[in-house]
Amino acid sequence: MSIAPKKIVIASRESRLALWQAQHVQALLQALYPQCAVSILGMTTRGDQILDRTLSKVGGKGLFVKELEIALLEGHADLAVHSLKDVPMQLEHEFTLAAILEREDPRDALVSNQYASLDVLPAGSVVGTSSLRREAQIRARWPRLKIQALRGNLDTRLAKLDRGEYQAIVLAAAGLKRLGLVERIRQILPPTEMLPAAGQGALGIETLVTRSDVLDWLAPLHHAVSASAVLAERAVSRALGGSCSVPLAAYATVVGDTVSLRACVGMPDGSRLVQAGATAPVAQAEQLGAEVAAQLRAQGAQEILTQCKG
């Protein structure tokens, strides 16, 4: 066990939600190490700067982590806090996920000032989302609705809804709950209707592989049950080359020693959606992801992904 830290610097994006997440980890570390000075280094990433195009067109979710990783490499920060759904499925070799925290609600939420559910939205209603995963599932299940791209941080997205640019928007329930905006949620979308993104609702803490001291400091924050579910989800996504240019959903639950995983891949226009699922012992969570990915491939997922990337 390493010596208790005297100083820890956390790298974070500067959006309100990202800073909440960093402050949450800051409070947990401060409780663990009362004598330690825990500070936050706020940074603006490329993903925060480019708001006029969808992520899939400008380089993917890695745009939200690159600057934070540079801060780790240059020694300006000891660790970085991420929403795990924004973390690329394959980290560069210098980095590792040191801890996965206990997961918040992994589901999607409908926010609307007029309508209580996707089922009651009139034909032609504009629904905002920047996620190809959500777009594919909404178009497949509610083909009468119109999808329009929606970028920006959570407050920006809500402001666009309030200005009447959309009849409804779909967001991660976790972010709304973390920022005390539960009253904005009109409908929690069950995974049977809208399968979440891999890692949605979970926070991951990244550090350098070489920082064994940081790995030791963070060990008490690691939540094994949440990690098993998230690792299964990330494994299916990684096996299929998951990125934000891929309309892929993966959702796992853990009961006792068993992890159950469901995943789907679909065309963004909703014309085709393939689904698969399986269970395995918790110790085989990542192998389960590969198995479900193989099931999806057998149903034609690779063809869908090739078309999406083409």
For residue 60, what pLDDT is reported? 46
Q: Give Cα separations from 240 to 32, 139, 261, 309 (angstroms).
A: 38, 22, 15, 12
Residue 88 to residue 256: CA distance in whole angstroms = 29
Residue 246 to residue 237: CA distance in whole angstroms = 9
Grade residue 120 by pLDDT with cuts at 50, 70 and 90: very high
Query: Domain 236-309 sits in which CATH superfamily?
Result: Porphobilinogen deaminase, C-terminal domain (3.30.160.40)
Closest CA to 133 of 13, 296, 246: 246
Q: What is the mean pLDDT of residues 85-96?
A: 91
CATH of domain 108-189: 3.40.190.10
Grade residue 86 by pLDDT with cuts at 50, 70 and 90: confident
Q: Which fold has domain 7-102+202-222?
A: D-Maltodextrin-Binding Protein; domain 2 (3.40.190)
Mean pLDDT of the chain: 91
For residue 305, what pLDDT is reported? 83
pLDDT digits (tens, 9 = 90+) for 25-36: 999 999 999 999
CB atoms within 10 A of CB 125: 18
Residue 251 has pLDDT above 90, yes or no: yes
Domains of the chain, residue spans:
7-102+202-222, 108-189, 236-309
Sequence-distant (6+) residues with CB within 8 A of 192 are none
Residue 44 to residue 280: CA distance in whole angstroms = 40
pLDDT digits (tens, 9 = 90+) for 163-218: 999 999 999 999 999 999 999 999 999 999 999 999 999 999 999 999 999 999 99
Decide whether 108-189 matches 236-309 in CATH topology. no
Contact yes or no for 280/288 (Cβ under 8 A): yes
pTM: 0.89
Grade residue 53 by pLDDT with cuts at 50, 70 and 90: very low
From 86, 105, 162, 269, active-site residue: 86
For residue 136, what pLDDT is reported? 94
Dihedral pair phi/psi, residue 278, rounded to 5°: -165, 170
Percent of the chain with pLDDT over 90: 80
86 is catalytic: yes
Tokens at 266, concatenated: 């679909």
